[in-house]
Structure 1
Amino acid sequence: MNKDIQPVTSVSNVPEQRFENPGLPPHTPRRNESDPKLKRRDSLIVTGIFGLSALASIAAVVLYFVLPSYTTLANIRLGNLVLGLGLAIGFGGIGLAAVYWAKALMNDEEMVEKRATSRTSPEDQAQAVAIMRQGIADSGVARRPFITAALGGALALVPLPFLVPLIGNLGERGGWDISRLKHTMWDRGRRLMTDGPHDMSRPIKMEDVTIGSVFHVIPEGLNDLSHAEGYAEEKAKAVVLLIRLDEKDLKEPEKSLDGIVAFSKICTHVGCPVALYEQQTHHLLCPCHQSTFDVSDGAKVVFGPAKRPLPQLPITVDEDGYIIADGDFPEPVGPSYWERKK
């Protein structure tokens, strides 16, 4: 055995050391415990924060109806901002008031409770009930009706900024009027235009669309509405991807225009723009949740949470060689909703 190596002392040979329980540190009273004016001030602060929460919820709902109609992108963003601020201040106020209430008004003395046995005795059960009652008494709910009323009001009003947009039949602000999703600007004879500013958008001829190319397309006349109400909504429904494949790669070439197909860009999962095309696999990818659609097979879903293929726009060619729509989409574009069977 090497003399430089010392044997390790077994833990069992180390003498046991015991420490006295130091107990709890002395309680430091809060300032308001000896000054009723400070306690009243803290009660008013808690009530005021709950009141601010309620007012923020009411203000968000009122402004939602006072603001201009939500048919332009700017108004939609403003409406979302108003509702978001109402929710943030409403929920945040409730949380802040609850924390201040606990810190300033509830009993803050530390207490020690010995661990109970597995089976709770009737005495322990009675003690638990007494502790719960003591907690309610410490919160001061019975003694502070204004705080309780403010809390109830804030809790009742805070969901309103979230619920109001979900209520149907609210005029032009309109709830979920799903009939607006059933039709787009596309109709028979309307030319397919490249998506871009008014002075750069142009109609598309068949010879412009080579195999493997992709065009982002809008209906003719859409840019004329760029400063009108409803433009953002119409464009969101009507945007299309125009793609040309070799006809031998298509499962149903008869549904194409010499290999040219046009599909809605709006994902059938939650409505994100589908715009990532993989030329070798003929797959379209939605960047939001990775739903993948096979363009060679009617844009059917091959991966991801989407459940329906992308709607296909029927197309043909006019006498001047420009690609035109042969009607509207055969089904509503965008996500599934409760009236659909699929």
Structure 2
Amino acid sequence: MSSHTESHNEVPDRLSSQEREEGAVIVAEDPFADPGMPPHEHRIQDIDERAAKRSERTVALLFVVSMLATVGFIVSYALIPIDQITYIWPFGDVSALNFALGSTLGTALFCLGAGAVHWSRTLMSDVELVGERHPVEASPEVKAQVLEDFAKGAEESQIGRRTLVRRTLYGALALVPLSGLVLLRDLGPAPGDKLFHTAWEPGSLLINENTMQPLRPEDITTGSLTHAMPEGLDFHDHDFHAQIAKAAIMLVRIEPEDIKDQQSADWGHEGILAYSKICTHIGCPAVLYEQQTHHALCPCHQSTFDLADGARVLFGPAGHPLPQLRITVNDDGFLEALGDFEEPPGPSFWERG
């Protein structure tokens, strides 16, 4: 006990009086030495050229699969119809195009990445290097050293020696961007005159969207708003939404003396007027109807159209009136169209006259 006390008290006795007054603390030296880097263990590819060749072929195979998957992506995009539905276990009924594009592009990217990883783990140099911290701005000597290390790394990667890996890598990298280029096809082809034509034809009956029955003049009451579409459209058709987006109309009945535009009156029947209900701003349905003023309001950006005056724009960002559809009554007493819209319906576009 006494020896322990003496050894414990010997340390403070070696401190000067000033150190004792300042409360100096003695920190013991670290008893654990830096073990350093463990000895380097060579990979099988470093000592066996046959193993290196197997790794090279594996990397090349992954790059080739990436190339084939990219070609499959392009072929799928070009040949599979966009509306084709296919049963694929365990996903059920899915879009064949989406499934093909996702699987091929995913395979192309995965194999490209897996090939690069396998290449680096089996063929590139795996010698451990310790880099000391240095100022942010490198000195000329450091820059020269970086260039030298880069050249050495390129040499150790064996990209110059492994020609099979190099060529297949270049092929995979060259083909993968084509997937993005192919997607640009969705920007075309140019619509041509498709925007100028809808499903309305001379003699097309006006079909009530709610009852799916042809409309008669007596079905349209003063102050009401009725939604209609041309006969022949079916909710189950694959292009129904594309057709109705251009052909949808609204019918209003206004007292003939309240109609301000003579052409609108002539294109109607006994005060029944048919206008496109697609707003000419960005295509929202302008179907909020104000009975007293005969104004139609688009709820998206408040564009307001006067249906009693050729559907001209009273307020809002819409650029032109709602196109009117010329209608009449056939021998059976049903409302029918005399042709298509004189102006293309929907939002403005630069080709519009």
- Tell me, yes or no, whether TM beats 0.5: yes
Q: 1:155 deviation in Å?
A: 1.9
List per-residue Cα deviations over 1:4-43 (Å, max 9, x = no partner). xxxxxxxx98777876655444444434333333322221
List per-residue Cα deviations over 1:44-94 (Å, max 9, x = no partner). 111111101111222343455555xx4x73289544543443333223322
Higher mean alpha-carbon deviation, 319-328 vs 119-128, is at 319-328
TM-score normalized by structure 2?
0.61
Q: Say which SS state the counterpart of residue 84 (structure 2) adopts.
A: helix
After superposition, the Cα gap between the structure-2 partners of 1:238 and 1:103, relative to the gap in structure 1 and judged at 3 Å, is same
Contact 1:49 1:93 in 2 (8 A): yes
Give 1:7's aligned residue. none
Give 2:12's aligned residue. none
Q: Which amino acid aligns with 1:219?
A: P
Give aligned pairs, total.
293
The reply on whether 1:138 has 2:156 as its aligned counterpart is: yes
After superposition, the Cα gap between the structure-2 partners of 1:142 and 1:101, relative to the gap in structure 1 and judged at 3 Å, is same
Distance 1:135 1:276 in 2: 66
Question: Which of residues 87, 95, 110 is equivalent to 2:113?
Answer: 95
The reply on whether 1:193 has 2:207 as its aligned counterpart is: yes
Give 1:3's aligned residue. none
Higher mean alpha-carbon deviation, 232-241 vs 83-92, is at 232-241
Contact 1:186 1:329 in 2 (8 A): no
List per-residue Cα deviations over 1:267-325 (Å, max 9, x = no partner). 94xxxx957978899444xxxxxxx343534798x99xxx9769844235432363747
Give 1:37's aligned residue. 50
Give 2:177's aligned residue. 159
The reply on whether 1:220 has 2:231 as its aligned counterpart is: yes
Unaligned runs of 5+ in 2: 1-22, 87-94, 291-295, 306-310
Higher mean alpha-carbon deviation, 155-164 vs 21-30, is at 21-30
The reply on whether 1:125 has 2:143 as its aligned counterpart is: yes
The reply on whether 1:107 has 2:125 as its aligned counterpart is: yes
Distance 1:195 1:28 in 2: 77
TM-score normalized by structure 1?
0.63
Q: 1:219 deviation in Å?
A: 2.3
List per-residue Cα deviations over 1:83-134 (Å, max 9, x = no partner). 4433332233222222222233222333221122344322211111112112
Q: Say which SS state the counterpart of residue 116 (structure 1) adopts.
A: coil
Q: Say which SS state the counterpart of residue 111 (structure 1) adopts.
A: coil
List per-residue Cα deviations over 1:237-275 (Å, max 9, x = no partner). 44355457899xxxx98679768743338994xxxx957
Give 2:325's aligned residue. 315
Q: Say which SS state the counterpart of residue 70 (structure 2) adopts.
A: helix
Q: Say which SS state the counterpart of residue 73 (structure 1) adopts.
A: coil
Give 2:214's aligned residue. 203
Distance 1:341 1:160 in 2: 34
The reply on whether 1:236 has 2:236 as its aligned counterpart is: no
Contact 1:316 1:324 in 2 (8 A): yes
Q: In percent, how many aligned pairs have the same letter?
A: 23
Give 2:302's aligned residue. 294
Distance 2:125 2:260 in 1: 77
Distance 2:348 2:104 in 1: 27
Q: 1:139 deviation in Å?
A: 2.2
After superposition, the Cα gap between the structure-2 partners of 1:135 and 1:324, relative to the gap in structure 1 and judged at 3 Å, is same
List per-residue Cα deviations over 1:128-186 (Å, max 9, x = no partner). 11121122123221111111111111122223344346459xxxxx9513113442222
Larger Rg: 2
Give 2:168's aligned residue. 150
Give 2:18's aligned residue. none
Give 2:10's aligned residue. none
1:40-79 to 2 correspondences below 5 Å: 40-64=53-77, 70=81, 73-74=83-84, 77-79=95-97
After superposition, the Cα gap between the structure-2 partners of 1:147 and 1:324, relative to the gap in structure 1 and judged at 3 Å, is same
Distance 1:91 1:162 in 2: 12
Unaligned runs of 5+ in 1: 1-11, 169-173, 285-291
Distance 1:96 1:299 in 2: 62
Q: Which amino acid aligns with 1:87?
A: L
Distance 1:144 1:37 in 2: 13
List per-residue Cα deviations over 1:189-228 (Å, max 9, x = no partner). 53333559xxx7323456458968674x54222349x7xx
Q: Say which SS state the counterpart of residue 130 (structure 1) adopts.
A: helix
After superposition, the Cα gap between the structure-2 partners of 1:78 and 1:330, relative to the gap in structure 1 and judged at 3 Å, is farther
